[in-house]
Amino acid sequence: MDRERGGDELAEYAEFASEAVRAAGAILRERFGRPHDVRFKGTVDLVTEADRAAEALIAELIRERYPGHHLLGEEGARGAEAPSPFRWVVDPLDGTTNFAHNLPHFAVSIGLERQGEPVVGAVYDPLRDELFLGIRGGGATLNGARLRVSATDDLLRSLLVTGFSYDFARRELQADVWRQFLLRVQAVRQTGSAALNLCYVAAGRLDGYWERGIAPWDVSAGAVVLREAGGTLTDFAGGPFRSDDRVVLASNGHLHEAMLGLIEPFERGFLA
């Protein structure tokens, strides 16, 4: 009975998250391709007026519906301060650099964590109208159709993806790891959206993804989608994945050990 009620509760959160990513996605779709007000948060890390407008809308929806929940938004939105088992983790525009260059690949990502564990994830690509949804214990879907990771079990046949940090010093190390993969796999992509990378592995479009220097809002939602599609997530030492840990190794499961074997020697001692 408790478990049933828990399931219903998650389904309700998932419905809310789906509506919120669609509403924010409509803002991004409308603004895509127009001139933007671009501001720099770092040397190459930028933010546009669309990031801020989408986050403001999502934060308003969350605060209105779940005033007692915590909220962590990339652009600064916060929720309740009193203790709560729930935390919403929001990336209003994952793929900002693409968006600012009019490259049509980005998404809205909303995750819900319960006691630190990602339990609901909604990732919406507004240009392709693709809604990826994961509910812990309830499966993963793309526009309502069940998702399943690929069966690829040979690195040489695998199509992988990674991302590079906005921090140049970290890019040096990332480039060394990237080189290891390049010489052993079919191809390595770099799409510019961590959330979509995870969802694409969940959908079997890609076979694995790794990145160092990511934030909780990049991966919390996608992690649920991937896990529920049968995928595996860990840190770079093979330990449990945590959205706050800044690293993610995600795969269809079959390639996990092989990927870990390539990453680990480089990353040992550099997990942050």
Tokens of 75: 């652009």
Give the shortest CB-95-to-Ca ion separation in angstroms: 7
Backbone angles phi, psi at 204, to 5 degrees: 80, 10
113 or 218: whose CB is closer to Ca ion?
A: 218
Nearest-angstrom CA–CA distance, 230 and 175: 29
Residues 142-181 that bind ligand IPD (CB under 6 A): 163-165
Q: Interface with ligand IPD includes 218 (CB under 6 A)?
A: yes
Distance CA 232, CA 209 (A): 10
Q: How far apart are CA 175 and CA 147, in angstroms?
A: 31
Compute the distance between CA of residue 168 and CA of residue 18 in angstroms, rounded to an integer.
35
Of 222, 201, 210, 207, the residue nearest 246 (C-alpha): 210
How many residues make contact with ligand IPD (CB under 6 A)?
16
Residue 178 touches which of Ca ion, ligand IPD, none (Cβ within 5-8 Å per kind): none
Residues from 79 through 98 that contact Ca ion (CB under 5 A): 91, 93-94, 96
Residue 128 Cβ, how far from ligand IPD at the closest point, in Å?
17
Closest to ligand IPD by CB, 10 or 216:
216
Q: Residues touching Ca ion: how many (CB under 5 A)?
A: 6
Give the shortest CB-14-to-Ca ion separation in angstroms: 21
For position 134 contacting ligand IPD by CB under 6 A, the verdict is no
Cβ closest to Ca ion, residue 32 vs residue 266:
32
Residues 51-80 that bind ligand IPD (CB under 6 A): none
The answer to whether 74 contacts Ca ion (rule: CB under 5 A) is: yes
The amino acid at residue 122 is A
Residues 6+ apart with CB under 8 A from 167: 42, 213
